[in-house]
Structure formats: structure tokens, C-alpha cells
Amino acid sequence: MEEIVIFIIYFIIGLFASILGSMAGIGGGVIIKPILDIIGLNDLSTISVLSASTVFAMATTSLITMLFSKKLQVRVKIASLLAIASIIGGIIGKSMFNRLLESFEQPDMLSIMQSIILACLMILIYIYQKKKDRWRTFTLHKTPIILMIGFALGSIASFLGIGGGPFNVAILSLFFSMTAKESSINSLFIIFFSQLSSIITMSVTKGFTELDLTMLPFIVIGGVTGGLIGSALLSRVTNTIIDRVFTIVIFIIICINIYNALKLLPSLV
């Protein structure tokens, strides 16, 4: 009975993270990772696989759904350049993560570092989101600059073990003058390729044989279901609602990561 409850919990985590992730373009990994940290049933490597797989399933489902409904509006050049660069950055970020994980005697130290960095970045994004109407936005076209931005996005997201959606949405809004709905859709396009790259990188480096992936089917099914629901909602809601959902989710993520960091600090003493 206890195992069934845990299976349901993982399904619900994948479901709600993916509904919000698909709607707001944040992917879901930024929600899944800190929540699984709180639950504490998996190590960092396993959490990375669970998060990446769920986000990839969600992004794939959402994009296919929007493609068939003819509501997939992607700025192909910008999104493709960002995606390509984020893949390269993701490989570097994952390599940095693996090296640090091996060098730390206490894995909790890396978890605390991730939580603090993620909380700080989310605070910056939250401030931008609340004040963005007062900010001047840009429409960048130069390929080298777009590639540099994509590389940075991929490196940070991969190192933190998240899909990178919140960063994508903020960057697409600030540097490419996209609306909330445009940012969400283009962010999902970028996330699809970055998470595919992350899964392939993990499979050819450390592999999955030593990981306990019992919960993988349940959280991924939640991701697929959430992707279907989220993409349907995205096509029906306004930019204002998407902005509100994004802001609320970012605030929740900040609170969760601060809690995670404070919870793990005593273990280092």
C-alpha cells in the first residue's frame, strides 16, 4: 500500500509540474527537482534523470499537440540557434555537475549550492517579471550573440538539473520582445532539444544501470498527461493569465529552494 501511495505522489508531481511547465513555458524541471529534493527518496543523479525524462516527455507531448492543432508558432531561426547552443552548453554544464559531485565528500553540499543558486536566479527573474513593463526590450538578430545566450542558458540549466524554462521565458521576453504566449511556445521548443541532449549525455557517460528508476514510468506518465492538459490550456488563455501563472510559479520555486537549502544546512555541521 505504501508503494502505491509513493507511485501516486510521483505521478501527481509529474502531472502538475508539467501542466504549469507547459502553460508557462518553464518546462517543469524547475519544479520537479526541488520537490524531489524535499521528498528525499532519490540521490542527485537519479533526480536529474527523473526530471530530464519527465520534462522531455512533457515538451514532446506539448509540441506535437500544438503542431496538430496548428497552434505551434515558433520563431524557427532564433529558437533553433538557442537550442543548438543550449545543447552544447548543457553538455558542459552536466560535465561540471558530475565533476563537482565526485569531488564533494558530502553530496548535500552540491544540493545546497544548487538550491541557493537557483533561488537567487529565480529572485532576479521574479523581479524582472514584476517590473518588465518598465523595461526596454530588444530584438536581437546577430547569430553569435544568440549562440552565446543559448550556451549560457544550457550550461546553467544543466548544472542546476532543471529544464531551464524560466530562464528561456525571461530571455525570450527581454532580448527578443516575445509575448508571454510566444515565449512559452518557443521555450518548449528549446527545452525539447536541451533535455534530449541531457538524456543522451547521461546515457553515454554514467549510464542508468546504477540508478533506481522505479518511479520513472509514473512520473513520466504524469509528464505526458500534464503536457496534454497544459498545451490545451495554453491555446485558450490570455497572455495576462500566462504571466500570472509564471509569476506565481517562480515565487513558489524560490520558497521551495530556500527551504531545501535551510533543511540541508544542519547535515554539514
- For residue 27, what pLDDT is reported? 80
**Cα gap 150→106, rounded to integer Å:** 31
Helix axes 29-39, 107-131, angle to 10 degrees: 140
Q: How far apart are CA 152 and CA 21, in angstroms?
A: 21
- In this prediction, residue 159 carries a pLDDT of 85
Alpha helix (H) ranges present in the chain? 2-24, 29-39, 44-68, 76-103, 107-131, 143-160, 165-176, 180-204, 216-234, 239-264
Please give the chain's pLDDT, 269 residues, in tens: 588 999 999 999 999 999 998 988 888 888 998 899 889 889 888 998 999 899 999 999 999 998 888 777 889 899 999 999 988 988 888 788 888 888 877 778 888 888 899 999 999 999 999 888 888 888 999 999 999 999 998 888 888 877 788 999 999 999 999 999 999 999 999 989 888 887 888 888 778 888 989 999 999 999 999 999 998 898 888 999 999 999 999 999 999 999 988 988 887 76
CA angle 98, 99, 102 (to 5 degrees): 85
Q: Closest Cα to residue 13, out of 30, 23, 2?
A: 30
For the chain, domain boundaries: 2-268
Largest interatomic CA distance in the chain: 57
pLDDT of residue 126: 94
Residue 1: predicted pLDDT: 52
The C-alpha atoms of residue 42 and residue 33 are separated, in whole angstroms, by 10
Contact 30, 162 (CB under 8 A): yes
pLDDT (0 to 100) of residue 269: 62
User: What pTM, to 2 d.p., does this model score?
Assistant: 0.88
The predicted structure's pLDDT at residue 266: 80
pLDDT at 68: 85
